[in-house]
Chain A
Amino acid sequence: MGTRRIALVGNPNSGKTTLFNAITGATQRVGNWPGVTVEKKEGSFTYEGNSYDVVDLPGIYSLGAFSEDEVVAMDYILTDDADVIINVIEASNIERNLYLTTQLLEMGKNIVIALNMVDEAQKRQIVFDVDAMSKALGVPVVATVANRNNGTSKVIAAAVAAIDGFTPYANPVTYSESVNHHMAHIAELISNCDLEYSTDWAALKVIEGDAHVTDLIKRTCSDGAVADEITKFLKYHQSDNFELEIVDSRYAYAQRIAKVAITRPQEQVRTITDKIDQIFINKFLGIPIFALIMLGVFQLTFAIGADLLGGWAAALVDWLGSLFESGLEAIHAPIWLTSFVIDGMFGGVGAVIEFVPLITVMYLLLSLLEDSGYMARAAYVWDNLMRRFGMQGKAFISMIIGFGCTVPGIMSTRTMDNKKDRMVTMLIAPFMSCGAKLPIYSVFIAAFFPRHGGLILFSLYAFGIIVALLMAKLFNKTLFKGESSYFIMELPPYRIPSVSSVLRNMWLNVSDFLKRAGTIIFLVITVMWLLAVLPGSADPYSQYSYLGRLGALLVPIFRHAGFGTWQESVALFAGIPAKEAVVGTLGMLYAGQYLEEGAILVTAVQQHFTQLTALAYMVMVLLYTPCIATLSTVGRETKSLRWPIAMAIYTFLIGWLAAVAVFQIGTLLGFV
């Protein structure tokens, strides 16, 4: 007997991942908007001496497969047979959640139901009868509040018991006569096909017009006549709305169960959510409020992350640096080692580490926003404006996710039904400034705009959004013509963010930042340092080093943007593997070049840049070629090499053009 497998299946935003984390002790990202999980996540736990594997699947409304995240869930449910499925149901939304349950019952799956977020439903004065629900469905039902860890051990016990106690049952849904008739016909047709699932169910999916399952059947059946017959059947019944009849039958069943399971109050209780929404998604106030929230995020990020805590982190790195320096002197370490440790590691990697407080605060605030339920509202208020640029509101969620990191922003496009929407959203994703660029802005802001940090940052992010929208419009007019897809989105209730999940999301990002500092950034800085001190015949950190010569090649490209020294050019080059390396490389080069102690980076930047060129440099950083991680994600998601290469080139051009425009126009207007 191998390890038993448990799969978590449920609607988007029903709390699957929260339950997954509670069961397995994992720390997967959760949030309060539909579509946080788009990949299959695996974990495990031990119960009474046996170990069990758990799979968390993307949230789905139904077992169809229109979008990528649904394909992931559907494929798993179809092929990789879990021993038991924990179907997570949001208690206050029971009819719609039971629709998916109904589909699992149609397949004859072994399921246990976790009736989740019962606390919220109780607040809305919804009364449950868990036993009656279990009896009506014929499967175990456990009430849970996963985010407080209530009921999780009961769910585990029920799931484990169900693995061995499973008895097959018949499909409980009653279909219309015509559906039954055709189902029997198709079932007979495919009866010799040797399918991995029941022929009745397969027949139902064919009639429903499920392209995914129909293709599977056609491919599995060795008898070519079967495939032809199915094609003929579907063509003949094209205008019959079987799928809608089937959906109605499922809903009828779900509603019957819901009637037994819950009692709703006569009058809908007016919730806090309703009151907040009156203001937050108001026709006139919606977008200004969004802008205010983002401005607040940036102001707070600077006030706390830089002004309050930033100096402390810098002092710590400096102190450690001087400690190492005297230590190395004491043991008469060779010059190259001192140079590597002090200039490369403390000047370079240390310059990145100094920004941990800053990005911690930013990620904390973004996590709060994600957990509150505001994301779906942002998508709502932006839908109208997005339409003018050929996009829809859902794309805006991917864009905000990109403020944290572009990679999950791109991944989140998997929830989009429409291929065109998805491609365009991916292509504009790099213009949403990510957390890794924050240290770069921060250095330039400290050097030139110390009193307006939040405002400058806000303007940069806003400029990124504007460029993204304009590019979206351009792509829609040229490469991806055609309608943008419809907007359908659930607006989940606002929730007071749970401390543990906010801290967990924040830590996921911060630990990732630290990990990157220790791996890729360390690596890039080391390579840059080597290039800067070699060949031995040249002065280290001078224009005669390998790095200096490489930089000299790049200088002509950037001269029109106002930043004409080789250090600034190679730093941008170093930023392509990882954006933090821009600051790291500048820090390392300046640390090697200038011998004085203290806030070297900021003072050196003040000597090398002016207010105007600093602005042009920040605009370049905002828009130019995204990091390798982003490009490879685009490659993976589009399954091509063409798109990431095209993206690397076109974003570079846009960044360069914008930086040149800032510098040239600024010069004309008399700024320096």
Chain B
Amino acid sequence: MNVQLTSLQRGETGKVTMIDAGKQATKRLYEIGFNTSASITVIKNDSGPVIVSINGNKVAVGRGLAHKVMLVRE
């Protein structure tokens, strides 16, 4: 089942299935590692941008944009 990045709790991991943002933002996300099939682990998700780990590297994504990233839980 697809869920938003913002609904993953700290420590949960998911695979990106779709990004429903503008073209430019989507491309930026792709380039920084949110490509489909990448494994993404949430490190911090309380207020403000969500911080995720992609292969052990941290990326912060603004909350508004994080709502638009869809994943399946792993």
Residues of A within 8 A of B (CB): 61-62, 64, 66, 92-96, 99, 124, 209, 243-244, 247-248, 251, 264, 268, 273-274, 277, 281, 283, 376, 380-381, 383-384, 387, 392-393, 417, 485-491
Q: Which of A273, A384, A392 contacts B47 (CB 8 A)?
A: A384
B32 touches A487 (CB 8 A): no
List 8 additional contacts besides A251-B35, A393-B62, A490-B58; criterion CB under 8 Å.
A64-B27, A96-B31, A248-B36, A277-B58, A380-B48, A486-B28, A487-B65, A488-B25
Please, how many angstroms separate the alpha-carbon atoms of A319 and B55 in the complex? 61
Given contacts A381-B48, A383-B49, A489 and B59 within 8 Å (CB-CB): yes
Q: Determine if B62 and A488 form an interchain contact, defined as CB atoms under 8 angstroms apart.
A: yes
- A485 to B65: give the CA distance in the assembly, Å: 10
0/1 string, B50-68, CB within 8 A of A gives 1: 0101111111111011000
Contacts of A380 in B (CB 8 A): 48-49, 51, 60
> Which residues from A are CB-within-8-Å of B27?
62, 64, 243, 247
Shortest Cβ gap from A506 to chain B (Å):
28
**Closest B-chain residue to A90, C-beta based?**
B57
Q: Nearest Cβ in chain B — how far from A96, in angstroms?
A: 5
A-chain residues with CB within 8 Å of residue B48 when the two chains form the complex: 283, 380-381, 383-384
Measured between alpha carbons, how far is A154 from B32 in the docked complex, in Å?
A: 29
Q: How far is the CA of A345 from the CA of B59 in the complex (A)?
A: 52
Q: In the complex the two chains form, is A488's CB within 8 Å of B30's CB? A: no
- In the assembly, what is the distance between CA of A243 and CA of B27, in Å? 8
Question: What are 15 of the A-B contact pairs (CB < 8 Å)?
Answer: A66-B24, A92-B57, A96-B54, A247-B27, A264-B56, A273-B58, A380-B51, A380-B60, A383-B60, A393-B62, A486-B28, A487-B60, A487-B61, A489-B49, A491-B59
Chain B contact-residue range equals 35 or more
A392 and B62: CB pair below 8 A? Answer: yes
Q: Judge whether B44 is part of the interface by a CB distance below 8 angstroms.
A: yes
Tell which of A92, A273, A283, A486 has the most Cβ of chain B within 10 Å.
Answer: A486
B29 CB within 8 Å of chain A: yes
Tell which of B35, B53, B57, B61 touches A248, judged by Cβ atoms closer than 8 Å: B35
Query: Looking across the interface, which residue of chain B has its beta carbon closest to that of A246?
Result: B30
B56 to chain A, nearest CB (A): 5
A124–B60 CB distance below 8 A: no
Contact status of A417 and B28, CB under 8 A, knowing A92-B57, A95-B55, A124-B56: yes
Q: 3 tightest A-B contacts by CB?
A: A487-B62, A491-B58, A384-B48
Q: Give residues 1-46 of B contacting A (CB, 8 Å).
A: 21, 23-33, 35-38, 43-44, 46
Residues of B within 8 A of A381 (CB): 48
Bound state CA distance, A485 and B27, in angstroms? Answer: 14
Closest Cβ–Cβ distance, residue B33 to chain A (whole Å): 5
Say whether A488 contacts B65, CB under 8 Å.
Answer: yes
Interface core residue of B26, B38, B53, B60 (most chain A CB under 10 Å): B60
Closest to B41 in A: A268
Check A491–B28 contact: CB distance below 8 A: no
Total A-B residue contacts, Cβ distance less than 8 Å = 108
**Nearest B residue to A63 by beta-carbon distance?**
B31
Are B55 and A489 within 8 A (Cβ)? Answer: no
User: Which residues of A have CB within 8 Å of B64?
Assistant: 486
User: In the complex, how many angstroms separate the beta carbon of B46 from the nearest chain A beta carbon?
Assistant: 5
Min CB gap B11→A, angstroms: 11
Report the bound CA distance from A277 to B64 in whole Å. Answer: 22
B25 touches A486 (CB 8 A): yes
Q: How far is the CA of A376 from the CA of B60 in the complex (A)?
A: 9
Task: Decide: A490 near B44, CB < 8 A? Known: A244-B26, A247-B27.
Answer: no
Closest to A100 in B: B31
Complex-state Cα separation, A248 to B21, whole angstroms: 17
- A491's partner among B21, B33, B51, B62 (CB-CB below 8 A) is B51
Tell me the minimal C-beta distance from A327 to chain B in angstroms. 61
B32:A488 contact, CB within 8 angstroms? yes
B31's partner among A61, A268, A383, A393 (CB-CB below 8 A) is: A61
- Tell whether, in the assembled complex, residue B60 and residue A488 are in contact, meaning their CB atoms are under 8 Å apart: yes
Q: Which of A244, A281, A488, A489 has the most CB of B within 10 A?
A: A488
CA distance A274 to B43 in the complex (A): 9
Q: How far is it, in angstroms, between the C-alpha of A268 and the C-alpha of B26 when the chains are bound?
A: 27
Report the separation of the CA atoms of residues A251 and B30 in the bound assembly, to the nearest whole angstrom: 9
Highest count of chain A CB atoms <10 Å: which of B25, B30, B37, B38? B30
A93 and B57 in contact (CB under 8 A), knowing A247-B27, A380-B48, A380-B51?
yes
Contact A393 B59, beta carbon cutoff 8 Å: no
Instruction: Name the distance in Å between B63's Cβ and chain A's nearest Cβ.
Output: 8
Contact among B37, B38, B47, B60 for A489, CB-based, below 8 A: B60
Distance of A274 Cα from B30 Cα, bound (Å): 24
Please measure, in the bound complex, the distance between the C-alpha atom of A380 and the C-alpha atom of B48, giving whole angstroms: 8
Which of A247, A281, A393 is within 8 Å of B44, CB to CB? A281
A96 near B49 with CB under 8 A, answer no
Question: Which of B47, B49, B55 is within 8 Å of A264, CB to CB?
Answer: B55
| Cβ-closest chain A residue relative to B38 | A251
Of the candidates B28, B35, B43, B53, which one forms a contact with A488 in the assembled complex, judged by CB atoms under 8 Å apart?
B28
Q: In whole angstroms, how far apart are the Cα atoms of A66 and B16 in the complex?
A: 23
- Give, as a whole number of angstroms, the nearest-CB distance from B14 to chain A: 16
Q: Which of A209, A277, A486 contacts B65 (CB 8 A)?
A: A486
B38: min CB distance to chain A, Å: 7
Residue ID in chain A nearest B48 by CB atoms: A384
CA distance A62 to B65 in the complex (A): 20
- How far, in angstroms, from A264 to B29 measured CA to CA in the complex? 23
| Cα separation A394 to B52 with both chains bound (whole Å) | 17
- On chain B, the residues within 8 Å of A248 by CB distance are 35-37
A64 to B33, CA, bound (A): 15
B9, chain A: closest CB distance, angstroms = 15
For A278, the closest partner residue in chain B by CB is B44
A-chain residues with CB within 8 Å of residue B26 when the two chains form the complex: 244
Q: Are A487 and B57 in contact (CB under 8 A)?
A: no
Shortest C-beta distance, B49 to chain A (Å), equals: 5
Instruction: Report B-chain residues with C-beta under 8 Å of the C-beta of A485.
Output: 25
Q: Across the two chains, which residue of chain B brings its CB closest to A380?
A: B60
Knowing A124-B56, A281-B44, A487-B62, say if A99 contacts B49 (CB, 8 Å): no
B35: which A residues are within 8 A, CB to CB? Answer: 247-248, 251
In the complex, what's the smallest C-beta–C-beta distance from B13 to chain A, in angstroms? 11
> How far apart are the CA atoms of A281 and B48 in the complex, in Å?
10
- Chain A nearest Cβ from B24, distance in angstroms: 6
Known: A383-B48, A393-B49. A490 touches B36 (CB 8 A): no
Chain B residues with CB under 8 Å of A491's CB are: 51, 58-60
